[in-house]
Chain A
Amino acid sequence: KAGVTQTPRYLIKTRGQQVTLSCSPISGHRSVSWYQQTPGQGLQFLFEYFSETQRNKGNFPGRFSGRQFSNSRSEMNVSTLELGDSALYLCASSPGQGRTTEAFFGQGTRLTVV
C-alpha cells in the first residue's frame, strides 16, 4: 500500500508570492490534516478535511487555505508569503471515521521564503 505522498519536497519562494502544496493520502483514507513545523513553534495544526469538507481549523491567518478533492487528495495554499511562513509542512492521512486513531504522515514539504 502506498504511503502518504507530498509534493513538492522542497520549494523556494519569494515574499509576496503564493504557493500550493499537494498531499495524496493513503488509498481509502478520507481524512487529510495539515501541520506546520518550525523550530520555534513546533508542530501546529493548520486544518483537517474529511470528504471534501473542512472539519477543523487551527489558529492561522486567512492567507492559509486548503481544499480536498473527491479522490481525497488535498492541497493547501498560502498567499502573500511572509518570511515567517518558512517551515516544514506535514500532511497526515487517516480513515477519518470510527475509533481508528492512527494518522500516517508524509515526508513533508520544506518551504523556504526569501
Chain B
Amino acid sequence: AQTVTQSQPEMSVQEAETVTLSCTYDTSESDYYLFWYKQPPSRQMILVIRQEAYKQQNATENRFSVNFQKAAKSFSLKISDSQLGDAAMYFCAYRSGMNRDDKIIFGKGTRLHILP
C-alpha cells in the first residue's frame, strides 16, 4: 500500500522569506502523480502544484516549486517570497496512475505560519 509522510507538523517563516515543506512517499508503482494541496481556514482544499512521476523536470507554479527526487521518493514544496495569504495547512498527496479510480492518499499535513 502507498503511504505519504510529512514529518513537519508545523513550520513558521518570515514574510517575504523562502520556506521548504518536506514530504516522502512509499510506493512500488512506476506511474503516479504527486500533489501539494493547500487548506486555508475556509477549509477549501486548493491544488497548489502537481508532478507527474514520468516527468523529470520539477514542476513550478509562480512562487511555488517542487523538488522531486524519484529515487529517494521525496517531494518537497518550496514557497518563495512568502505572503500572509500562504498561511494554511499544506497536504502532500499521491494518486496512482495505474488504477482506474481517483483515490488520493494524503499526508498528515504541515501547518504553515507566516510571521509579519
Interface assignment of B104: CB less than 8 Å from any CB of chain A: yes
A96 near B43 with CB under 8 A, answer: no
- Chain A, range 92-108, C-beta contacts under 8 Å to B: 92, 94, 96, 99, 101-108
Main secondary structure of the interface of A (DSSP, over half): strand
B50 near A55 with CB under 8 A, answer: no
Interface residues on B, range: 20 to 34
Per the bound structure, the CA–CA distance linking A45 and B105 in Å amounts to: 7
Identify B44's interface contact among A58, A96, A105, CB under 8 A: A105
Chain B residues with CB under 8 Å of A33's CB are 102-104
Interchain Cβ contacts under 8 Å between A and B, 30 examples: A31-B102, A33-B103, A33-B104, A35-B104, A35-B106, A42-B106, A42-B107, A43-B106, A45-B105, A48-B103, A50-B102, A56-B99, A88-B43, A90-B43, A92-B104, A94-B102, A96-B102, A99-B97, A101-B33, A101-B95, A101-B97, A102-B47, A102-B50, A104-B47, A105-B37, A105-B45, A107-B42, A107-B44, A108-B43, A110-B43
